[in-house]
Every structure is written in structure tokens, then in C-alpha cells.
Chains A and B, each alone.
Chain A
Amino acid sequence: MAVHVREAHHGCMAEQIRSKRRWRRGSWRRVPEQRVLGGVAAGISARTGVDVNVVRTVFVVLAFGGGFGVACYLAAWLLIPATGEATSIGSSALSDRTGITLAAGLASLVTAVFVLLSLVGAGWIGSLAWSFVLSVIGIVLIARNAPPAEQATLRRLADPLIGFAGDTTRSRIALRATVGAALLIAGVITLLVGHTSTALLRPLAGVALVIGAVVVVLGPWWLRVGRELVAERQARARAEERADMASRVHDSVLQTLALIQRRATDPQQVIQLARAQERELRAWLFDGQAPGSVADEMTFAAGVRRIQSDVEAQHGVTVEVVTVGDCPIDEDLQALLGAAREATVNAAKWSGVQVISIFAEVEPEAVSLYVRDRGRGFDPASVPADRKGLSDSIHARMDRHGGSTEVRTAPGAGTEIRLSIPRLAVGQTAPA
């Protein structure tokens, strides 16, 4: 049996590969660069020569005709690979088990709702059902498997809906409860007043029974899907938290331990280092003040000078600082300073020279900071993966805050780390 199953599976894979090839030969490709949603219309236009706006109009018209256009569009989005991509979103969705379960769960939920609607006599709604169900499946699979840029598009579209459903401010909850209660009361009164004969309530009882049955049969499954989703999101949040924590511990505790090992012959300094680290760690664990963070009222230039004095004190090197302009520190600049501190400490530890230069410039659109040494440099490709400094404390940290990192180095040629982060339009200050 097992063998048969596997063969069947292989057959399915072969089919899938063949179909992929066919797409490629036919050169149907979505064009994400010109996309409004998924670039499907642009792709069709490129393949057929029909003007892209005509294609878009057809989709919109079909969308109003029973939702057909929406389902078609989503199917195309799912099955046609983007330009420059070898596989479609659909093929990567095949291995997304949670996604498939979720799609099936939602589809069954939607089907159940439609069955109920047709039971209470709103049969015409049933004609919308299949395109609606297909759309739901499509949206779920695309949202989970599309490249980040396309996911962002979807999220932007869904934002108002999510915002409404996820809105937990008190006034909104109260408003919703009031509206719900009013509708409920109105409904019950209409039923009792409008239909004095209880016999007319019987179909309603039937509907209630069907709802009950569906909930009993499918309810636990829906619940499990929901719970899995929550668990997944929590796991992701935990992983992010861990990464953040790891880079903080690396910046503070591990750095200090390394220093202590190096200064083992100087008890006075070891004690001093240990004390300072203890203070910092306590402040972080019990007062929630991040290590290496600067006080809120400090300006950016003052933060850079703080790095200068700290690194000079801890590592016995000279840090030359030149700053141009200044501004208050926000969360992004806090991250920039954290990365800059790490880069400076790295230069102090590894460059082998006594002078490190920092140049920081605050411009209206961006803040840039350069850490440069004329030391031995290194080969970025040969940095072991377990050395967290550059990858986690600098690159990842800058990425998380929308900044960029550039490393210019080569063995013997010194090192320059360039950090840059865009500035929000608010919080302008004069550079003087």
C-alpha cells in the first residue's frame, strides 16, 4: 500500500513539474513591477498585447458579476509565477500545511454560512458562493506564501478590515455592543410581534438546529485552526524577542566578559568592569532600561559622544568624533546608536590600531554614521557564523528599523562601517 501511495505522490509531483514547464514555455508571467494588486493584468496585457487598462476593466466588471472576476484574478495570482521567479505562489503553497488547513477551515465555514443563508430563503446569495469560497482559499494561500512585497500589498488592502475587527478601544467595543444589542432586540420584537402564530417560527428552529449541528461537527476543528494560528504568531513573537535579547546580551554581558578575560592581570579594572556590567544588567532586568541605551532627553550628538567616552574608557583607544547637525533621539536613532556602539567596540577590539573615527551627520531626510579605522581589516566572507556582532547587533538591528548597513573592508585595508537610517518628517530641529 505504502508503495502505491508513494507512487501516486510521485505522479502528482511529475504532473506539477510538467505544468510548471508549460507555464514557463507559454511565458505567462505576472509583472509585479507594474502591479496594482498582483501584476496579473499587466502580465496578461504583456502576453496578449491588449492594453492593461482594458484587462483591468474586464476583471472589475467580472468582479461585479457574481464575484467571478475576483476568483479568476486570485487563481491567476496563485498559479502564474512572477517574472524572474521559477515557481508560482501555488507551488510553494503546496508545502504550507498550516495554510492549507486554514484555507480549508475558512472555506468550510464560508460554505456553512452559504448553506444556512439558502436555508432561510436567501437562495440568490448561493450563486455567489463558489467564487466566494475560491477567493477565500486564494487569499489565504497568497497571503501566507507570496513574496514579502506582495504580502504587503495584501495587508494594505486588508488593513481597514483588520483595523476594524482588531480594534479594542473601549468606545468602539461599547458602540459595537450597543448596535448588536439593538439589532437583537429589534429582531426578537419583529419575530414576536409580526408573527403571532408560532407555527411560522418553526423553520427558524430548523435553522437553529442546523447551525447547532454544523458547530458541533466542525467547531472543534475551527477552534484548532484558530489556536494553531495564535500559537504560530506567538512563536514568531518569541523568536523576535529572543533575537533582540541575544543581541543585547552580546553587546553588554558578553563584551564585558571578553574584556575581563583580557584584563585578567589587572584586578582593579576587572572589578570596575564587573561593577559597571552588574549595574547595567540590573537596570535592564529590573527597571527595563536597555543596555547601552541613552537617556531620553539626550540628543543624537550627545549619544555619539557617549559612545566615544565609553569606548575610550573601556578599551583604551582614541575615538575621534565629528558630528554635523543634531536632533532628538527616537527609537530608530536609539537602534542606530546601538549599532554604532557595536561597530566602534569591534574596531577597538579587532582593528589593532589606537585611533577610530566616527563621523555622524544629521540631515533633514536621513541620519548617517560612519565608523572607520585604519587597522587590519577583515574578509567579511570568512567571519564565522557564531560571531554575532556584525550580523545581529549591526545588520539585523539596522534592518529592523528600516536602516541600511554597508561594510567596506579588506584584509590590511582598514574597515569602514556605514550606517544610515531615514528620518521621519516630524521632530525637526535646527542644526545649530
Chain B
Amino acid sequence: MSDSTSPRPRVFIVDDHGLFRSGVRSELGSHVEVIGEADDVEPAIAGIATSEPDVVLLDVHLPGGGGQAVVTALRTTHPKVRFLALSASDAPEDVIAVIRAGARGYVTKTISGADLVDAVMRVAQGEAVFSSRLAGFVLDAFAALPAAGQQTPPFDPELDQLTPREREVLRLIARGFTYKEIARELFISAKTVESHVSSVLRKLQLSTRHQLTRWATDRRLD
């Protein structure tokens, strides 16, 4: 799926398990250039700041704080670095937190090598990467918001609600459809699917709805 003419993206891997890092390194193989690794928040921030990779593969759970600490620390100083969250965890609150901090996507650690390469390529090109699980989390998070009409101000429908089309696209992602299959299913172009997903990502990151922020904490209290 990767575009062979584009230069190989430079990748930095952040994960506290050495075995996992070497596994990912071998799976990514020659498709990308792995320029560094780190096993915790502090070394990751330092390493990324000096090496300035295109894509950071970021474990959601790190001993010295969540992966979101890494994103938050680097977002303003290194806006060109893009983050792809990786996790074996089921905990939606952590995943949503990393995305809201600025990561461009989320995939589970069970992802196949080929799919991971594809996801890295997409993130390197500035696209959003939604795994089926992330799509499920996002649908859940926005469903937890009060319905339109019951909203208290300040409510921005541009940011605080998904359009029916975006919902449809997320549902298909959650059902395991690829972008191409979604495009075929909805009679739209793959580019349009992409723009829907990017728009969802934007809403997820920019919505100031405190319900969305609190959604994570509510889930934790369950």
C-alpha cells in the first residue's frame, strides 16, 4: 500500500517493552527508517526533540506517565512530529486522552505488520488513522454527550457533534471495513472517507465540551 516514490518516513519507537520494540522494528523492516527508541517519557521527549522524526509510535501506557505526556510536551515545540498511538489496552479513557493531546491515530498492538506499515505511512502523510476499536471509542464518547436540544451553552455543533455521515463512516470502520471498502459501500471516494475521518479527529481534539473531557474520567469511575 505504501507509495514507493515517497521517501521512507523516519520513525521513533516509544515503548517500555524492549521485546515489543524489536518486534515492531523488524515488522516495519525496510519500509521505514527507525531512527531511535525510548522506554519512558523523559528519554522519549529528549530523543524525539533531538532527532525530529516524522512519526512517533507511542505506547499509551508508560511507567513515567501516559503517552499523552510525551505528546503534550512536544506538540508546541515540534509541530511537525506526528504521533501514532499503540496500545494493547482496552481502556478507552487513555486512548481518547492521547488522541485529544494530539496523536493522529490509534492502532492496537495486535495489528499485522503490513497494516502497521500502512498506518505509519498514512500518519506520515498527515492522515488520521482510526482502528476499528478507536472508531468504537469515538462513537461511544460522542454518544455519551447529551443529544442536541438538551445542550447547555456553550455548545458548538460544529465541534461537539458528529454528522450522520461521519457516524456512518465510523460505524463501518468499527465493523472492520478498510477506507476503500467504505468508499465503495457509501458510493464516495476514498479521499472523501479520509476527510470525514480527519474531521472526526479534529472534533475529537478541538471540542471543548467538558463532557467529552470528562467522559474519560466517568469511564474510569465506572
Chain A interface residues toward B at CB < 8 A: 318, 320, 322-325, 357, 359, 361, 370, 372, 374, 416, 430-432
Contact = CB atoms under 8 A, between A and B. Distances in A.
A370 B176 CA distance: 10
B222 A370 contact: no
B143 interface: yes
Contact of A322 (B144, B174, B222): B174
Nearest to A354: B112
29 contacts: A318-B110, A322-B132, A322-B136, A322-B174, A322-B175, A323-B136, A324-B140, A324-B143, A325-B143, A357-B132, A357-B175, A357-B176, A359-B132, A359-B136, A359-B171, A359-B176, A361-B171, A361-B174, A370-B175, A372-B176, A374-B176, A416-B175, A431-B140, A431-B144, A432-B144, A432-B215, A432-B218, A432-B219, A432-B222
Contacts, number: 46
A322 B133 contact: yes
Contacts of B135: 322
Contacts of B139: 324, 361
Contacts of B175: 322, 357, 359, 370, 372, 416
A325 B139 CA distance: 9
- Which of B110, B171, B215 has most chain A Cβ within 10 Å? B171
Interface in B172-222: 174-176, 215, 218-219, 222
Nearest to B147: A364
Contacts of B222: 432
The 5 closest A-B pairs by CB, nearest first: A322-B136, A357-B176, A359-B175, A432-B144, A324-B139
Nearest to A326: B140
Nearest to A363: B143
Contacts of A322: 132-133, 135-136, 174-175
B219 A320 contact: no
Interface residues of B, number: 17
Given A372-B176, A432-B218, 16 more contacts: A322-B133, A322-B136, A322-B174, A324-B139, A324-B143, A324-B174, A357-B132, A359-B171, A359-B176, A361-B171, A372-B175, A416-B175, A431-B140, A431-B143, A432-B140, A432-B144
A320 B173 CA distance: 13
Nearest to A418: B175
Nearest to B222: A432
Contacts of A324: 136, 139-140, 143, 174
A359 B133 CA distance: 9
Contacts of A372: 175-176
Nearest to A305: B90
Nearest to B170: A324
Contacts of A431: 140, 143-144
B140 A320 contact: no
A322 B90 CA distance: 10
A365 to B, nearest CB: 13
A194 to B, nearest CB: 72
B144 A430 contact: yes
Contacts of B132: 320, 322, 357, 359
Contacts of A430: 144
Given A359-B171, A432-B219, A325 B176 contact: no
A198 B195 CA distance: 99
Nearest to A318: B110
A325 B137 CA distance: 10
A348 to B, nearest CB: 15
A348 B121 CA distance: 31
Interface string B100-134: 00000000001000000000000000000000110
- Which of A357, A359, A361, A370 has most chain B Cβ within 10 Å? A359
- Which of B132, B175, B219, B222 has most chain A Cβ within 10 Å? B175
A361 B171 CA distance: 9
A324 B215 CA distance: 14
B196 to A, nearest CB: 17
A430 B175 CA distance: 22
B171 A320 contact: no
A98 B139 CA distance: 56
Contacts of A323: 136
Given A430-B144, A431-B140, A359 B174 contact: yes
Nearest to B110: A318
A357 B172 CA distance: 12
A104 B133 CA distance: 65
B109 to A, nearest CB: 12
Nearest to A373: B176
A141 to B, nearest CB: 49
Contacts of B219: 432
A322 B138 CA distance: 11
A372 B132 CA distance: 12
B105 to A, nearest CB: 16
A282 B219 CA distance: 38
A322 B140 CA distance: 10
Nearest to B132: A322
A325 B174 contact: no
Nearest to B112: A355
Contact of A320 (B110, B143, B144, B218): B110
Contacts of B133: 320, 322
Contacts of A359: 132, 136, 171, 174-176
B136 A320 contact: no
A370 B139 CA distance: 16
A163 to B, nearest CB: 38
A302 to B, nearest CB: 12
Contacts of B218: 432
Contacts of A320: 110, 132-133, 176
